[in-house]
Structure 1
Amino acid sequence: MTTPDTAATVQEKLNEYWTLRAPEYDAYQQEPNRLEENNRAWSEAFAAALPEAPADVLDLGTGSGYVACLLAAMGHRVTATDLSAGMLEQAAKHAADMVTPPAFAEGDAVAPDFAEHSFDAITNRFLMWTLREPDVALANWRRLLRPGGRLVVVDGTWYPDGMDGDRTADFQRLYDAPVRESLTLATARTIDEVADRIAAAGFSDVEVTPLEAILELDKKYGVAPNHEVVLLHRITGRA
């Protein structure tokens, strides 16, 4: 069982890793050669699953704010949180250029500090695999959604054969054994393992959709350093 002290230590290591990665990560997200196609494909992927704008949307583990900014540009009222100071610094730069930017703030995706029934939708991308206590998180997310509210998450099966591959020194140092033991979805062999957790948390109408358009872009332009081309999936559910 994860203790509060263990959870805090795990999260501190995750925060450090993603702050170190933030500039490189954001640069890849904003790669000019594919940015226009990326924006279109990701906007379509989320628009197909979200309520009509304007809706109150919470983007958790927002990172450098890529999805949050897209959703705000689509007309949604977006609140976006992360615990990585470096990622939030990158996100703030993008928000500064927007007329109606997301509201970025420091916040824990496992236990978001908002009132019950505050949002019409909760989104995240590439969070589930590196999320400590996913069952606790999902229960909290369900409470934050209004009746009929939608959960929209995107992820892939990144480490189906374990996390000991040839990764960067920072990854091996900070994603150490205690961290890996806490990330119960990091080594999921199929995306159904994520969908099953969402259904078990009480979400209804859980659906898994492969994002073929994103896969084609990754094949065309390549993926981030130290990553492999992986078919991503959108998983949706209703509160």
Structure 2
Amino acid sequence: MGANNIEIDPVKERVKNYWSSSSKYYDQSPGLNSEEEKACWKKELGKVIGEEKKDILDVGTGTGFIASLLAELGHNVTGVDFSKDMLAVAKEKTKRLNLSIKLMECDAENLPFDENIFDCVICRYLLWTLPNPEKAIMGWIKATKPGGKIIIIDGEWAPKNAAQKLSRKMLALHQFLRYGANFSKTHYSKSLRERIPNGDGVSSKKIVEYLSEFEVKDIKIIDLRHIRKVQKKHLSWHLRYSYDRPTHLVYGTVK
């Protein structure tokens, strides 16, 4: 075990390097982070979490997108990530927005927290990246108070047709030309996808199975196609298909 509860693992290192390399342009992806999109996310989060102030853990916080929205909604937020580069962006964003968010470097599969201390644990676009998703979810549940909520936001990312495959290449080219991103590393390699259980994304059905395995109750699914629609609204046609993926918010209550 390394410092800050970060396990030294070859697959995790490849995943971390991928996300660290994308930290500089992650928030600049075309169609993302508009005020309209943020309002949609706040609406969905508010419906699930409620208006009462809560202690929330955002696992795999990345650049702090969800953490920032939750803080703006008035919650006490802790954000964790194993990429120092992602956290650096999150810290800058937190400062710029004048928000109070505790940011920590740690492994989503090896949380350093005591049991039963958060009212809610949330992650967005994290579960599909994990080598050991069951281990991670078990840790998230342990950190959540009885009666608290687990919220998992994810999607199915593999291109389903020729148009989506072409659009993904066009998005990679856009990131290369505008931000200098390594054209060959704007998506997970085939070899890396094969080393993680959900390398092509994770369906809402699969998330329900994971949560049910740990006896999370009252599990519900919210289809997020309306948010994808907002994201695509101002994109040119050749990029639009890159955002045409099933995405969902799945949540339940810890026993």
Q: TM-score, normalised by structure 2?
A: 0.80
Query: Could you tell me how far apart the structure 1 residues matched to 2:159 and 2:213 are?
Result: 21
Residue-pair matches, total: 228
**1:47 Cα deviation from its structure 2 partner:** 1.2
Task: From 231, 234, 239, give the equivalent of 2:249.
Answer: 234
Name the CA distance, whole Å, in 2 between partners of 1:60 and 1:29: 24
Mark the runs of 5 or more structure 2 residues left unpaired by the alignment.
1-6, 173-182
Match of 1:169 among 162, 171, 184: 184
Give the equivalent residue in structure 1 for 2:88. Answer: 89
Of 207-216 and 137-146, the range deviating more from structure 2: 207-216
Q: Is the contact made by 1:125 and 1:155 (CA closer than 8 Å) also made in structure 2? A: yes
**1:235 aligned partner, one-letter code:** V
The answer for the alignment partner of 1:22 in structure 2 is 23
Say yes or no: does 1:196 pair with 2:213. no
State the distance in 2 between where 1:119 and 1:225 align: 37
Aligned equivalents of 1:228, 1:206: Cα separation in 2: 26
- The CA distance in 2 between the partners of 1:175 and 1:198, in whole Å, is 28
1:105/1:30 CA distance change after superposition, 3 Å: farther
Alpha-carbon distance in 2 for matches of 1:48, 1:35: 20
Aligned mates of 2:132, 2:139 — CA distance in 1: 11
1:39 deviates by 1.2
Shift of 1:189: 7.0
The reply to whether residue 148 of structure 1 matches residue 147 of structure 2 is yes
C-alpha change, 1:90 and 1:117, in structure 2 (3 Å) is same
CA distance in 2, matches of 1:122, 1:196: 18
1:187 to 200, 225, 244: 200
CA offset digits 1:92-147 (Å, max 9, x no partner):
11111234321111011111110000100001111111122000111111111001
> What SS does the corresponding residue of 1:45 show, helix, strand or coil?
helix
- The answer (yes or no) to whether the contact 1:38–1:214 under 8 Å persists in 2 is yes
Specify the SS of the correspondent of 1:49.
helix
* Contact 2:224 2:249 (8 Å CA) reproduced: yes
- Cα RMSD, aligned residues only: 2.7
Q: 1:160 to 1:205 in 2, by over 3 A?
A: farther
C-alpha distance in 2 between matches for 1:24 and 1:229: 20
Partner of 2:3: none
> In structure 2, the residue corresponding to 1:207 is in which secondary structure?
strand
Residue 149 to residue 195, structure 1, CA distance change in 2 (3 Å): same
Counterpart position of 1:122: 121
Question: Which stretch has the larger CA shift, 61-70 or 50-59?
Answer: 50-59
Instruction: Tell me the TM-score normalised to structure 1 length.
Output: 0.85
| Aligned equivalents of 1:112, 1:57: Cα separation in 2 | 14
CA distance in 2, matches of 1:221, 1:10: 36
Identify which range, 225-234 or 132-141, moves more after superposition.
225-234
Find out whether 1:215 has 2:228 as its counterpart: yes
Task: Specify the code of the residue in structure 1 equivalent to 2:143.
Answer: L
Judge which range, 124-133 or 211-220, deviates more.
Answer: 211-220
How many Å separate the matches in 2 of 1:189 and 1:59? 19
Q: 1:99 to 1:156 in 2, by over 3 A?
A: same
Q: What's the offset of the Cα at 1:225?
A: 9.3
Following TM superposition, by how much is the alpha carbon of 1:159 offset from its aligned partner in structure 2, in angstroms?
1.9
Provide the C-alpha distance between the structure 2 equivalents of 1:35 and 1:151, rounded to a whole number of angstroms: 26
